[in-house]
Amino acid sequence: MPKTGRKPADETAPAYLGIYLFCYPVYALGPGRRVGLWTRGCSIRCEGCVSGDAWSFGGSEPADVDELSGRIRDIFKNESPDGLSISGGEPFDQSAPLIRLLRNLSVSGIRDILIFTGYRIGDITARHAEISELAAAVVDGPFEKGNDTEACWKGSANQTLTLFRPEFAERYSRWIAAKKGRLQIFSDERGVFVIGVPRQKDVQKIREWREFSPMAEKRAIPGAGEEFQV
Ligand code: SF4
């Protein structure tokens, strides 16, 4: 074998994933009741992105991927959610730990994994061919300000959904037929998070509401899993 001078990747070494938010149950990002995972950091930085708070790659301790896999596995074992949704930030900006997480979950039999990415699906599959084995579906493409859509599953009309697992065709076709209107609030010691894909015209109102934290507290923010309509 020729020597390349490169060491092979040590797949047993600990891997770490920067995480912005981990939440269960999530009802406003994907079909059914889901585990939600938002990675930290995005290099794409689309104008008007609603997730600007998650652009930074720093700001919190990254999570050990194998421990995180166990945490997700436990939720699936004890609560039987419909699936896992992964968004960000940009998940594929941390592709090595992301793929390791997906492989771990695949070994555990977790099959409905939905990933949101600002990259194009062709670039993702060219770089990570196994994604079609590891994910059930991918929503791809950068956010385009001014190109609004009523579809509940995307922020701008240019984005597309690729379904890799035909066994989930029915649940995903019902989900992508739905219109916007469902968002969800989650709060922890850091503040208030709005989960879901809002209409572009509502983004500024949501930002103002979130930043006005005393008012948010007076509104008796519901706990994880409760929803409100906008
Ligand atoms: S929409 Fe997604 S890809 Fe675009 S800047 Fe926001 S987090 Fe990054």
Domains and CATH numbers, the chain: 16-179 (3.20.20.70)
Residue among 217, 198, 216, 170 at smallest CA distance from 28: 198
Q: Is the CB of 45 under 6 A from ligand 1?
A: yes
pLDDT of residue 212: 61
Whole-angstrom distance, CA of residue 55 vs CA of residue 63: 17
Which helix (H) or strand (E) element contains residue 122? Answer: helix 121-127
pLDDT of residue 189: 86
Preceding omega of 89 cis (within 30 degrees of 0): yes
What pLDDT, in 10s, does the model give residues 133-154?
999 999 999 999 999 999 999 9
Q: Model pTM?
A: 0.89
- Cα 171 to ligand 1 centre (Å): 25
Helices (H), strands (E): how many in the chain?
Answer: 7, 11
- Cα 117 to ligand 1 centre (Å): 7
Atom of ligand 1 minimally distant from the CA of 119? 3
Which residues neighbour 81 within 8 Å (Cβ) at sequence distance 6 or greater?
A: 24, 25, 32, 33, 34, 35, 75
Which DSSP category does 91 fall into?
G
What pLDDT, in 10s, does the model give residues 153-188?
999 999 999 999 999 999 999 999 999 999 999 988
pLDDT of residue 1: 40
Q: Is the CB of 115 under 6 A from ligand 1?
A: no
Atom of ligand 1 minimally distant from the CA of 54? 7
Positions of the chain with pLDDT under 50 = 1-5, 213-230
- Cα 142 to ligand 1 centre (Å): 6
pLDDT of residue 7: 54
Interaxial angle between packed helices 65-79 and 95-107, expressed in degrees from 0 to 180 and rounded to the nearest 10: 40
Q: Is the CB of 216 under 6 A from ligand 1?
A: no
- Cα 216 to ligand 1 centre (Å): 25
Q: Is the CB of 142 under 6 A from ligand 1?
A: yes
